[in-house]
Chains A and B, each alone.
Chain A
Amino acid sequence: MSDSLNRFLAFWRHFSGAKVINLALIIAGLLGAWALISGSIDNPGRYLPSPLAVAASSVDMLYKGLLPSYFGDTISRLVIGSLIGLGLGIPFGLLLGLNRTVSDIFFPIMNFFQSVSGIAIFPIVVIWWGNSDKTVLAVILYTCFFPVAFNVLSGVREVPLRYIHSAYTLGASKFQVIRDVLAPGALPHIATGSRLGIGFASRAVIADEMLAGREGLGWMIFTGQDADMTSQVILGMLMIGLTWIVLDHYLLRPLEADTIERWGLVHR
């Protein structure tokens, strides 16, 4: 049975070739299952609206201009917060990693803050700055900074000593060692840290918008629940997931393929 199924699948793959078709099939399957479940329950409009209903609601929100506006708000917060987080976290991690004593002192401190999530510090930031865009941005920045800095720091500590020695014996200065050895050597960890940092930030931005009541996708989900508009809630969830996939596929993955995979530092 499974043998003939495999043969059919192999034939199908040979026939269809491209990965795109497989992906389309999986998505179609998921949508079908979703529609099936939605069609078999009572009051789907409240509990699980069909894919079509969600699509209709997205058309409606696009038409009113709400979706682009919410999406833009969330993305701009995420981009600004993450960029500052990466821009500070990467050099900070590299500098700390340069000196063994300094890095030994900071390692547990970074580890501590890395585990205190952005949501946990949200209330105190609200006490300082109120429910403002500044608060939301600060929490996103915080959320992004620590996993980035922590990972970069551990990455620098793992760069083999012989690479550093080799550069010094060729006459490298401290700055040249950072630029030519530590930064590229820590790149697998910089990539991991960035992925975690942006990933955490994209979760934080949703929660912050809900808590602070700032407009955006998080706010859209939150008000959707309040107004009993389940399709709006699902639409918000879909937008978040899709944004991350697009970001990862078109930005992070190609960067990794051109660097750490090309150099043989990681294998896929």
Chain B
Amino acid sequence: MTAKLIVQGLSHHYPDEYTGVSVHALEDINLEVNDGEFVAVVGPSGCGKTTLLNILAGLLPYRHGTATVDSKIIDGPGPDRGVVFQEHAILPWRTVAGNIGHGLELQKVSRQERRDRVAEFIEMVGLVGFEDSYPHELSGGMKQRCAVARTLCADPEIMSMDEPFAAVDAQTRITLQEELIRIAIATKKTILFITHAVDEAAFLGDRCFVFSRRPGRLRETVQINIPREERNWQDIAANPEFVRARDRILSLVREEVVADE
């Protein structure tokens, strides 16, 4: 397997917005994400997870260390690195189809091809019949499906997701997690999934990066050897590999939280 994303010696400080005090968000991060891999990133709140995502998305300039996607140094945002934001960032003034096709529109893809691709993703995320609806007419889960399709339809090399299911109800979250596995199988995309929910990380990730509390360091990488086809909530709860991985991640995260108090 080849590494899609390589981060070497990445450290980041930024001045706090209100106090101006320098915040040490990330310290010497070294990690690799392989092509087609689904990696979860877990850590206590304030561990620099979102800072890492913003740097990888090119939204936050960094000075110390390097980050590359397909050997290209990350320098500013680009369509090769799609992001699903914490609060869904679908545009209220565009319909579902308009949101999903936005990336292709920006890349000046022809109308015909755009229509086909949009239809394909609307089908994939289960929004058939809602093509012409506006976001305010959708439920929370549907908005998040739309946001995922909006990001994927632009065909990024890697998709980063920042706690995308944190704001939906528990039932919907379970469905969305299973759907995301199905989408990962169908699209073979490289996915970096940031979360603070241990169950979610163990359920979704092929591997899980556990971060320490601030300044965020990569504390341990937990391998989760479960084929994607077997990842549904009915079966996985009794899977010893899932239980082992979840308990390991949980104990690592708890050590960090306890050390904080």
Binds B, one of A49-57, A177-185, A214-222: A177-185
A178 → chain B closest CB, angstroms = 13
Q: How far is the CA of A265 from the CA of B91 in the complex (A)?
A: 11
Structural contact, B93 and A169, CB atoms closer than 8 A: no
- Chain B residue numbers with a CB within 8 Å of A170 are 79, 82, 102-103, 106, 150-151, 154
A181-B91, A259-B93, A264-B137 given as contacts; is B77 within 8 A of A165 (CB)?
A: yes
Please report which residues of chain B, range 63-115, place their CB below 8 angstroms from some CB of chain A when the two chains form the complex: 77-79, 81-83, 85-87, 89-93, 102-103, 106-107
- Secondary structure at the A interface, as helix, strand, loop or mixed, is helix
- Secondary structure at the B interface, as helix, strand, loop or mixed, is loop
The 8 Å CB contact of A265, one of B85, B86, B93, B106, is B93
A187-B93, A263-B93, A265-B92 given as contacts; is B87 within 8 A of A169 (CB)?
A: no
> Whose C-beta in chain A lies nearest to the C-beta of B81?
A169
A260 → chain B closest CB, angstroms = 8
**B81, B90, B93: residue with the most chain A Cβ atoms closer than 10 Å:** B93
Asked if A166 is at the interface (CB within 8 A of a chain B CB), the reply is: yes
- Chain B residue numbers with a CB within 8 Å of A163 are 89, 91
Asked if B215 is at the interface (CB within 8 A of a chain A CB), the reply is: no
B92 → chain A closest CB, angstroms = 5
- Chain A residue numbers with a CB within 8 Å of B89 are 160, 162-163, 165-166
Please report which residues of chain B, range 110-156, place their CB below 8 angstroms from some CB of chain A when the two chains form the complex: 134-137, 150-151, 154
B134 → chain A closest CB, angstroms = 6
Asked if A84 is at the interface (CB within 8 A of a chain B CB), the reply is: no
Asked if A241 is at the interface (CB within 8 A of a chain B CB), the reply is: no
Asked if A244 is at the interface (CB within 8 A of a chain B CB), the reply is: no
A172-B106, A264-B136 given as contacts; is B91 within 8 A of A165 (CB)?
A: no
